Structure 1
Amino acid sequence: MKKKYLPLLFLIAFLTMLGFGIIIPILPFFAEKLGATSFQIGILFASYNIMQFLFAPIWGSVSDRIGRKPLIAFGLFGFSITFILFGMAGSYTEMLVYRILGGIVSAAALPTVTAMVADVFPADERAKGMGIIGAGIGLSFVFGPAIGGYLSPFGFAVPFFASGGVAFVTFLIILFALPESLPKEKRTGVAREKQGNLLSVVFGPLSLMYGIMFIVSFAFSGLETTFALYINDLYGFTSKDLGNMFLVMGIISAFVQGGLIGKMVKRLGEPLVLTLGLALYAIGFFAIPLSAHFWTLALTLSLFGAGQGMIRATGTAMITQRTRQGQGITSGAISSMDSLGRILGPLAGGAVYQWYLSGPFILGGVLMVIMLVLFRTRSHQLPERAEG
């Protein structure tokens, strides 16, 4: 059964995030064209993540009751409509409204894909399944911004129309090709016995794992916010240089998640692979202030590419293996922690950068070491794997 799902889930994850990746380099310029200030552009980015944080667990809970396929289809259809409307926006206010609506509806899509992987893959193979999905996401962020850059000369609205079109094609694929993974008999049990809310899930027995997912997102989004400024202020590197560095990182991340995670987990187990991922992140953060050339910086970013593959796939697998909640709300909670990190990380990174240029990277390295120590000393307290 899983062989039937996996190529489709990979394609859905890739296409979903490809549409998102296409607009990343364009949105600030489009908003600026309509008179938005830098602060208002920041609000556009933050509002989307805030909606993701709030609504991912809600949609996840709904998917536990009615099934995965309707929620994924709803999310992609809403993604398509809101991005097309965004491309037609004639004012900042319209942009903000469509951005908020986009965050709400798209929160139903990708976390539910993760829940579907948890439905289909048994516990001992789940990290491999999560890795394949992560590879699709990683590749989308390799190709998406490049596509957006090529489309932007035709008008800032064109990449948004393209994103909406990609989302609609993905919606059709889901509608006609994707089987449902949660049988009706399992939905009733989940709805009556296993439902929780975001706080009860995150601060429950798996709080350590959710904390790791949050801190990793928090630290890395702080790096994403300040790295371009850092390499330009100190070494004069351009946005093109930055794009090439992140291209290297994205390719390595996709390779690790899609090709190596399953083999690594089979040989070493999820906890050790997660430990290695945190260690690579820590080394990467501390190495940035010591790097001064294009290739040393690119190599340093590649540590994050490899580490990201290890952390995301194994962390998600370990949570879904051990949860006593429904997989939908569990995947939604994971997505919320990622979104919360992407809300707070840029604020902290920007503030620390003003104080000390290397500060965001040193802070990230320290946080990784703390998470590494906590995980190695407290992982034995995690719940045992649930059946399945």
Structure 2
Amino acid sequence: MSTKSAFPLLLLNMFLANLSMGLVIPIVPELLEQFTASGQAAGYLVSCFGLTQFIFSPLAGNLSDRYGRKPMIIIGLILFAISNLLAALAGDLTLLFVSRLIGGVGSAALIPSIIAYIADITADEQRSKAMSWLGASMTSGFIIGPGVGGLLAEWGIKTPFYVSACVGLLAMVCSLWGLPESLSENIRQMHRQVKEKRDNVLRQIVLSVRSRYFVLLLIVFAMTFGLTHFEAIFPLFVVQVYGFTTRQIAILLTVCSLIGTLNQLLLTDGITRRFGEKRIIAAMLLLSALSLVFLLFSGHFYYVMVVTMLFFTFNNILRPTINTLLSRVAGAEQGFVAGMNNAYTSLGTIFGPMLAGILFEVHFNLPYLFGGFVLLLSSIFTGSRLRKVLSSVDS
């Protein structure tokens, strides 16, 4: 199998990695009731996944440059399966948290390697379209996860985890057999011979502030913060405030995610060509902020569905646009920059759900008001800073 023919398998792997993040969200109220845990545990349960993802992402990106994309993808899928199996077997909240921590490590190994793999096999003129498809699999996996989790939970609260573990093992076998290495041995050897010592992840974050792609990483953080802020508390919000059932939550999230993904595939390339990356990124951040606030206006099921669908659509368009620009800026360090991309995603996954859970206990409207405020500030800030990034890429 050639590297380009492996593209569908990469999309599937990316989908599965992000599916695992969102899978637990709709069954959080039932899990918390089963384990007699507080409401804040809902945010922490999502945040702990991002914690290990954040810690290990830069390391995984560097290892993929040194030893190849395929080994890291295989390792990520194995950890993905182990994580879900442990969650299915968990008899208390502690083991469930452990399973989420392992899942974060698996995601750290998998996601940067897939992004770097696609950058390896695509030319500059094809990369935007490839990243659009990758972004669709990434965001749809995270967004569809809650819907799938809710529907599967009707056969038992642990069923989503068993199914996810089996699918992860199947993807690992398919990748082991059918996924060629995209990085030549010469390039891998060159990276292994580099003696310079990489800084730890916190030092890399500090140094990235002075990099030319920092504004893009900041957008990655803000976008992920807003999305996880929305989803981590969404089941509790619509159950306690609007009286939705678990089935309604699953249907709503599944339908909205499918429509949002379809809109992304149909719209992203065309509107980016017409209006340019700078305007699209600033506009999507602004519209995402407005969507969060509009969610508070009514509890009618179809109104919530429309607002949620729009929020997912704006996020789905934003992700591939940012990934395309990051891959163009990265040059020869695709693995490292992909690792930093995942690290900033992890920071959003850590702080978004954590703050959402804390704010929800203060007042149920606060998570969405604060999330909208963060996205609004990001839209204003990035709108003034992106011009320099785009000029450096085009020069």
Query: Shorter-chain TM-score category?
Result: 0.7 to 0.9
RMSD of aligned Cα (Å): 3.1
Q: State the partner residue of 1:309.
A: 316
TM-score by length of structure 2 reads: 0.85
Match of 2:344 in 1: 337
More divergent stretch after superposition (57-66 vs 110-119):
110-119
> For residues 75-117 of structure 1, what are the alpha-carbon distances to aligned partners after superposition, in whole Å with 9 as ceiling and x for unaligned?
1012223322332344444444343333223320122111212
CA distance in 2, matches of 1:289, 1:154: 32
Percent sequence identity is 29
Deviations 1:227-270 (CA, angstroms, capped at 9, x unpaired): 44444454433343333332333113211333332333333332
Q: Paired residue for 2:188?
A: 187
Measure, in 1, the Cα distance between the counterparts of 2:216 and 2:85. 37
CA distance in 1, matches of 2:236, 2:94: 29
Cα distance in 2 for partners of 1:147, 1:228 equals 14
Structure 1 residues 105-114 or 41-50, which shifts more? 41-50
The answer on 1:99 being equivalent to 2:104 is no
Alignment-derived partner of residue 384 in structure 1: 392
Give structure 2 stretches of 5+ with no counterpart.
none
Moved over 6 A (4+): none
The one-letter code matched in structure 2 to 1:54 is: I
CA distance in 2, matches of 1:246, 1:150: 11
TM-score by length of 1: 0.86
> In 1, distance between residues paired with 2:242 and 2:119?
45
> Given the alignment, which residue of 252, 257, 266 partners 1:250?
257
Q: Which residue is equivalent to 2:89?
A: 88
Distance 2:8 2:178 in 1: 11
Structure 1 stretch displaced more, 313-322 or 23-32: 23-32
Alignment-derived partner of residue 264 in structure 1: 271
Report the alpha carbon displacement of residue 372 of structure 1 after superposing the two structures with TM.
1.8
**Could you tell which deviates more after superposition, 365-374 or 93-102?**
93-102
SS of 1:181's equivalent in the other structure is: coil
Is the counterpart of residue 211 in structure 1 residue 212 in structure 2?
no
CA contact under 8 A between 1:81 and 1:164: conserved in structure 2?
yes
Q: For structure 1, which segment, 338-347 or 190-199, has the greater mean C-alpha deviation from structure 2 after superposition?
A: 190-199
Letter in 2 for 1:270: E
Q: 1:87 to 1:28 in 2, by over 3 A?
A: farther
Aligned pair count reads: 387
Instruction: Tell me which residue corresponds to 2:293.
Output: 286
How far apart, CA to CA, are the structure 1 residues paired with 2:156 and 2:306?
Answer: 35
Q: Which moved more, 1:142-151 or 1:162-171?
A: 142-151
- 1:26-175 map, 5 Å: 26=27, 29=30, 33=34, 43-141=44-142, 144-152=145-153, 154-175=155-176
Q: Partner letter of residue 318 of structure 1?
A: L
Q: CA deviation at 1:221?
A: 2.1
- Kindly state the Cα deviation for residue 288 of structure 1 after the two structures are TM-superposed: 2.4
Residue aligned with 2:231, SS: helix
Question: Which residue matches 1:8?
Answer: 9
1:349 aligns with: 356
Distance in 2 between the 1:363 and 1:264 partners? 29
Letter in 2 for 1:202: S
Name the CA distance, whole Å, in 2 between partners of 1:31 and 1:365: 27
For structure 1, the residue ranges without an aligned partner over 5 or more in a row are: none
